[in-house]
Structure 1
């Protein structure tokens, strides 16, 4: 690493460029042969029928986080403000508004109901009173967040929802006690409910949320963006199950006949809490059976939409002609991805293990809307045959026709390949980088000064 103000010279780059080892390494890489015509791909390309189904409501979720330095006398101290915003879009009002173009943007905002869950999380060198470390402080803060949040006053807490999913986690996977690296606790983590004590002689506090293992990713000497991103994705996905369980407890599952749920990103959980994806999948299947009884056989319409990444870039490449102009991929068609297609074209792998088997609770498809927008989306595993990614058939993508029709109705012209619910949810969640950091730094300083007073 350079000193501040020290710049690289030309000598090292010449040495690297002339290195025989570098030349040998670059010459041994595999290069994928580009297949631009979707009809020549092994994945299933289908022309999607026009759906007559129209949702009354669309519920969308998106999250954001911002790290801020904390001036507490310790170098590198930081905290993060994490927010997950939800938007409920009244589609009947949107459709009425669409009949009177151009329409007033203020009127469009009136079709939305918004909410959010926000929390401040400690990071490197930020330690709560009565806690022994930054890791212990983070663990307590995450537990407190889950305990305090609920979708409605009469609903279970987010912690209750999480603990219902925790019951699905296999007990065969050992996990070290969170205090093993801090004060040498010899015991494995003993999974429990709520807050309880370690069985060692120190009897330090443990939490059910420790099973997420997110705290294991904390860097004690640097910024923790990856850890905060894991927390954000967990809360986003937990909130979906939290909402569905509330509808179940209220006896309102029949409302899902006209309600769609859209989540930012793929239907997956990555990183330390990846086990949660399989628990979510099992709970979705359980609730979906109840939904089918309440709606006369309709599955839940839950969709993840990706804004960037390898799959998005591949779809753009697939739609691009040799002269650089778009238009290869047929309008109103979907490419249903199977395991072999993904490994051969997007995420190279020779493994016999299916792509995403440990992290995904849904499967991806590409869709080109009727106005030409390119969408990478996921639909959930709701029945056993949906999980067979060795093949890709329409029957393995629940409510594919309705999902495509909804995407056609929700395309947002403000940004390329965007849909309105996620644009609105992101607008509620996103913290302006420079102004937001200044405001939150000031807030942190005032709160710390108040605590010391």
Structure 2
């Protein structure tokens, strides 16, 4: 019977393809079709690195942040029971040590590893049908675990926790107005989520609430089936929070605050926050502007923060415009940047003919551009912005991209054949996130001691 059923099912496949092809042809006649990419002289459209004022700045440290997650079924007597394992890695590259090794013909792997310091945050986040003792559901369990994870993470013993960083951003949000409060996350409660910090109680239902409920990540939990989307968004949210947490922790530590002028920050992916926690992006902009103003007053220059996209439509489009009709990859000049405006993105990458549409208007805290390195490798970075003028995507002037010359010079150094659409520090961070070997390790006190020792020796 099963064989007959399978045979009958297979016999319908040619008919299904014919119907599908006909429907696709009908749809094609109605959809908008982009003409071939016009021939553009990119030598005229791009900005050569040589045309920018060079500062010859060299970073003392590069800090890269990336994350990863995996999911696994567990046996507890309930179908589909699942947990997600999330890791966020922060890798610090000691550039002074790395520079010394660059002159060696053969690099000792042990010495090379000493140029990198790594710290990982890891967490098990429950999915469908996994409930801790004392909790009523998988959702309430997940909410408790997320809150406790942020509460226990900190960079230094004497600075704030990751939860403190998050609650500072939450306070910014609430000071700007909280007109669209989400629903109370407790089952059978019709009230809106009440404002609060830490762990508190809903006045309507008496259920437990956490400040992290405002992220609404629990709303992504599926009651059955896999919860990969939820794990991914939790990872991305903590990854972006880690950047602000680092900056605020350094601000609270005198030695590290003065070192910020010598640090370049890299993050995997675009500088944006999506999904239920996207409200963080606006708070990031406010906090980055505040911290950057303080750093600029103290050090005389902006922070340098970049996101790097390894895949996606922007990466694909860059490849398209760099490819000549004969297939050669040399249409875009080396050591040149193309700064993206909203109109260019709408017309060429993200199709939207609404005149009021602004790409990533509410979710981004950086600006995208294309860069082709000295060695001919393409990279799609974003640079963090620190003012309304810099964030204004209707124009794309070099002044709207903080530290552009330093960013391009650094990309020339860090993008290579091995990391041709990323950078070496992010590749290390990604590897560490995938196979975490330095869980909970404290590295920044150790690095601070090395910096002080090097400064004394130079004196």
TM over 0.5: yes
Q: Does 1:393 align with 2:405?
A: no
- Give 1:414 shift: 2.3
Give the stretch that moved more between structures: 130-139 or 250-259.
250-259
Q: Does 1:308 align with 2:311?
A: yes
Matches within 5 A, 1:209-220: 209-220=212-223
Aligned 8 A contact 1:320 1:327 in 2: yes
SS in 2 for 1:382: coil
- Give 1:17 shift: 2.9
Aligned 8 A contact 1:261 1:302 in 2: yes
Aligned 8 A contact 2:127 2:142 in 1: yes
Q: Give CA-to-partner distance per residue, 1:68-105, whole Å, 9 cap, x none.
A: 10110111110011000111001122122112234333
Are the structure 2 counterparts of residues 261 and 38 from structure 1 closer, same or farther at C-alpha, using a change threshold of 3 Å? farther
Map of 1:178 onto structure 2: 185
Q: Give CA-to-partner distance per residue, 1:35-92, whole Å, 9 cap, x none.
A: 26553699x5211235511111100011000101011011111001100011100112
Distance, in Å, in 2 between the alignment partners of 1:134 and 1:18 is 43
Distance, in Å, in 1 between the alignment partners of 2:6 and 2:123 is 38
- Give 1:372 shift: 1.1
- Give 1:21 shift: 4.1
Q: Give CA-to-partner distance per residue, 1:330-359, whole Å, 9 cap, x none.
A: 000001000011111111111212100011
Q: Does 1:131 align with 2:132?
A: no
Aligned 8 A contact 1:158 1:239 in 2: yes
Map of 2:30 onto structure 1: 28
Aligned 8 A contact 2:309 2:422 in 1: no
Map of 2:46 onto structure 1: 45
Q: Does 1:364 align with 2:365?
A: no
Which of 224, 231, 243 pairs up with 1:228? 231
> Which blocks of at least 5 consecutive residues in structure 1 are unaligned?
433-453
Q: Give CA-to-partner distance per residue, 1:218-257, whole Å, 9 cap, x none.
A: 1111111111111111111111111111111123422111
Distance, in Å, in 2 between the alignment partners of 1:300 and 1:164 is 20
Aligned 8 A contact 1:62 1:429 in 2: yes
Are the structure 2 counterparts of residues 349 and 101 from structure 1 closer, same or farther at C-alpha, using a change threshold of 3 Å? farther
Distance, in Å, in 2 between the alignment partners of 1:429 and 1:237 is 15
Which of 242, 252, 256 pairs up with 2:260? 256
Aligned 8 A contact 2:42 2:333 in 1: no
Q: Does 1:294 align with 2:301?
A: no
SS in 2 for 1:303: strand
Map of 1:406 onto structure 2: 410
Aligned 8 A contact 1:38 1:45 in 2: no
- Give 1:16 shift: 4.5
SS in 2 for 1:9: helix
Distance, in Å, in 2 between the alignment partners of 1:226 and 1:157 is 26
SS in 1 for 2:307: strand
Q: Give CA-to-partner distance per residue, 1:165-187, whole Å, 9 cap, x none.
A: 001223111211102xx2x2121
Aligned 8 A contact 1:35 1:41 in 2: no
Q: Does 1:9 align with 2:16?
A: no
Distance, in Å, in 1 between the alignment partners of 2:295 and 2:47 is 27
Q: Give CA-to-partner distance per residue, 1:387-415, whole Å, 9 cap, x none.
A: 21011111110011101111111124324
Aligned 8 A contact 1:39 1:45 in 2: no
Map of 1:237 onto structure 2: 240
Distance, in Å, in 1 between the alignment partners of 2:37 and 2:228 is 36
- Give 1:18 shift: 4.0
SS in 2 for 1:167: helix
Taking structure 1 as the reference length, what is the TM-score of the superposition?
A: 0.89
What do you get for the CA RMSD once the two structures are aligned?
A: 2.1
Aligned 8 A contact 1:192 1:208 in 2: yes
Taking structure 2 as the reference length, what is the TM-score of the superposition?
A: 0.88
Q: Give CA-to-partner distance per residue, 1:298-351, whole Å, 9 cap, x none.
A: 000010011111111111111112222211110000010000111111111112
Aligned 8 A contact 1:165 1:280 in 2: yes
Map of 1:336 onto structure 2: 339
Distance, in Å, in 1 between the alignment partners of 2:406 and 2:91 is 20
Q: Give CA-to-partner distance per residue, 1:187-221, whole Å, 9 cap, x none.
A: 10012100000012x41100000000010011111
Distance, in Å, in 2 between the alignment partners of 1:214 and 1:15 is 39
Distance, in Å, in 2 between the alignment partners of 1:36 and 1:89 is 42
